[in-house]
Chain A
Amino acid sequence: MSYRERETKLTLDIAKDTLVYMFRKMVEIRLFEEKVFDLYAQNLVPGTIHLYAGEEAIAVGVCSNLRKDDYITSTHRGHGHCIAKGADLKRTMAEIVGKKTGYCKGKGGSMHIADFSIGMLGATAVVGAGIPIAVGAGLSIALRKTDQVVACFFGEGASNQGTFHEGINMAAIWQLPVIFVCENNLYAMGTRQSRVMLIENIADRVVAYGIPGVVVDGNDVLAVYEATKKAVERARRGGGPTLIECKTYRHKGHSRVDPARYRPKEEVEEWLAKDPIKRFKERLLQEAVLTAEEIKKIEADVAGEIEEAVRFAMESPYPTPEEALEDVYA
Chain B
Amino acid sequence: MRKITYREALREALREEMRRDSTVFLLGEDIGKYWGGAFRVTEGLAEEFGDERVRDTPISESAIIGTGVGAAITGMRPVAEIMFGDLTALAMDQIANQAAKIRYMFGGQARCPLVIRTPFGAGVNIASHHSQSLEAWFMHVPGLYVAVPSTPYDAKGLLKAAIRGNNPVVFCEHKLLYPVEGEVPEEEYTVPFGVADIKREGEDATIVATLYMVHKALEAAKTLEKEGISVEIVDPRTLTPLDKKAIIGSVKKTGRLVIVTEDCKTAGVSAEIAAIVAEEAIDYLDAPIKRVAEPDTPIPFSPTLEQYVIPDEKAIIKAVKEVV
Evaluate whether A132 and B143 lie within 8 angstroms (CB atoms) in the complex, with A103-B106, A126-B97, A330-B111 already known.
no
Pairwise interchain contact A143-B67, C-beta atoms closer than 8 A: no
**1/0 contact string of A166-183 vs chain B (CB within 8 Å):** 110110010000000000
Pairwise interchain contact B93-A126, C-beta atoms closer than 8 A: yes
Pairwise interchain contact B93-A107, C-beta atoms closer than 8 A: no
Q: Which residues of A contact B266 (CB under 8 A)?
A: none
B110 nearest in chain A by CB position: A116
- Among the interface residues B67, B69, B70, B142, which one has the most CB atoms of the partner chain A within 10 A? B70
Pairwise interchain contact B69-A136, C-beta atoms closer than 8 A: yes
What's the least CB distance linking B245 to chain A, in Å?
Answer: 18
Q: Which residues of A contact B143 (CB under 8 A)?
A: 328-329
Q: How far is the CA of A104 from the CA of B104 in the complex (A)?
A: 8
Q: How far is the CA of A121 from the CA of B23 in the complex (A)?
A: 19
Name the interface residues of A88-117: CB closer than 8 Å to any CB of B: 102-108, 112, 114-116
Q: Which residues of A contact B75 (CB under 8 A)?
A: 140, 144
Pairwise interchain contact B73-A137, C-beta atoms closer than 8 A: yes
A78: interface (CB < 8 Å): no
Pairwise interchain contact B104-A107, C-beta atoms closer than 8 A: yes
Name the interface residues of A135-175: CB closer than 8 Å to any CB of B: 135-144, 162-163, 166-167, 169-170, 173
Q: How many B residues touch the partner, as a band?
A: 35 or more
Q: Which one of A108, A139, A141, A169 lies within 8 Å of B107 (CB-CB)?
A: A108
Q: Which residues of B contact A200 (CB under 8 A)?
A: none
Q: How far is the CA of A112 from the CA of B103 in the complex (A)?
A: 11
Name the interface residues of A15-30: CB closer than 8 Å to any CB of B: none
Pairwise interchain contact A140-B105, C-beta atoms closer than 8 A: no
Pairwise interchain contact B98-A166, C-beta atoms closer than 8 A: no
Name the interface residues of B141-197: CB closer than 8 Å to any CB of A: 142-143, 145, 165-167
B114 nearest in chain A by CB position: A136
Q: Which one of A71, A167, A169, A328 lies within 8 Å of B104 (CB-CB)?
A: A328
Q: How far is the CA of A135 from the CA of B106 in the complex (A)?
A: 20
Q: Which residues of B contact A138 (CB under 8 A)?
A: 70
Evaluate whether A129 and B93 lie within 8 angstroms (CB atoms) in the complex, with A135-B67, A136-B67, A169-B58 already known.
yes
Q: How far is the CA of A103 from the CA of B69 in the complex (A)?
A: 20
Pairwise interchain contact A327-B107, C-beta atoms closer than 8 A: yes
Q: Which one of A107, A114, A163 lies within 8 Å of B62 (CB-CB)?
A: A163
A134: interface (CB < 8 Å): yes
Q: How far is the CA of A326 from the CA of B143 in the complex (A)?
A: 11
Q: How far is the CA of A291 from the CA of B48 in the complex (A)?
A: 63
Q: Which residues of A contact B23 (CB under 8 A)?
A: 143-144
A218: interface (CB < 8 Å): no
Pairwise interchain contact B74-A136, C-beta atoms closer than 8 A: yes
Q: Count A-B contacts at CB 8 Å.
A: 149
Q: How far is the CA of A135 from the CA of B145 in the complex (A)?
A: 24
Q: Which one of B52, B62, B97 lies within 8 Å of A166 (CB-CB)?
A: B62
Evaluate whether A170 and B167 lie within 8 angstroms (CB atoms) in the complex, with A327-B107, A330-B103 already known.
no
B242: interface (CB < 8 Å): no
Pairwise interchain contact A137-B71, C-beta atoms closer than 8 A: yes
Q: Which one of B68, B94, B107, B142 lies within 8 Å of A105 (CB-CB)?
A: B107
Pairwise interchain contact B109-A167, C-beta atoms closer than 8 A: no
A216: interface (CB < 8 Å): no
What's the least CB distance linking B290 to chain A, in Å?
Answer: 32
Q: Which residues of A contact B102 (CB under 8 A)?
A: 122
A133: interface (CB < 8 Å): yes
A2: interface (CB < 8 Å): no
What's the least CB distance linking A161 to chain B, in Å?
Answer: 9
Q: Which residues of B contact A129 (CB under 8 A)?
A: 66, 93-94, 97-98
A145 nearest in chain B by CB position: B52
Pairwise interchain contact A134-B70, C-beta atoms closer than 8 A: yes
Q: How far is the CA of A121 from the CA of B113 in the complex (A)?
A: 15
Pairwise interchain contact A104-B109, C-beta atoms closer than 8 A: yes
Pairwise interchain contact A327-B103, C-beta atoms closer than 8 A: yes
A124: interface (CB < 8 Å): yes
**1/0 contact string of B105-122 vs chain A (CB within 8 Å):** 111111111000000000
Pairwise interchain contact A328-B142, C-beta atoms closer than 8 A: yes
A246: interface (CB < 8 Å): no
Q: Which one of A126, A173, A327 lies within 8 Å of B108 (CB-CB)?
A: A327
Q: Which residues of A contact B53 (CB under 8 A)?
A: 143
Q: Which residues of B contact A142 (CB under 8 A)?
A: 52
A131: interface (CB < 8 Å): yes
- 14 example contacts (A-B, Cβ-Cβ < 8 A) are as follows A102-B107, A107-B105, A108-B105, A124-B97, A126-B98, A133-B66, A142-B52, A143-B25, A143-B52, A163-B93, A166-B60, A170-B60, A329-B103, A330-B111
Beyond known contacts A104-B106, A129-B94, A329-B103: 17 more, CB 8 A cutoff: A71-B74, A104-B105, A104-B107, A108-B105, A112-B105, A114-B106, A122-B105, A124-B98, A126-B93, A132-B69, A133-B70, A137-B71, A139-B71, A140-B74, A140-B75, A144-B76, A162-B62
User: Would you list the 8 A-B pairs with minimal beta carbon distance, nearest first?
Assistant: A136-B70, A132-B66, A104-B107, A166-B63, A166-B60, A330-B166, A105-B107, A136-B67
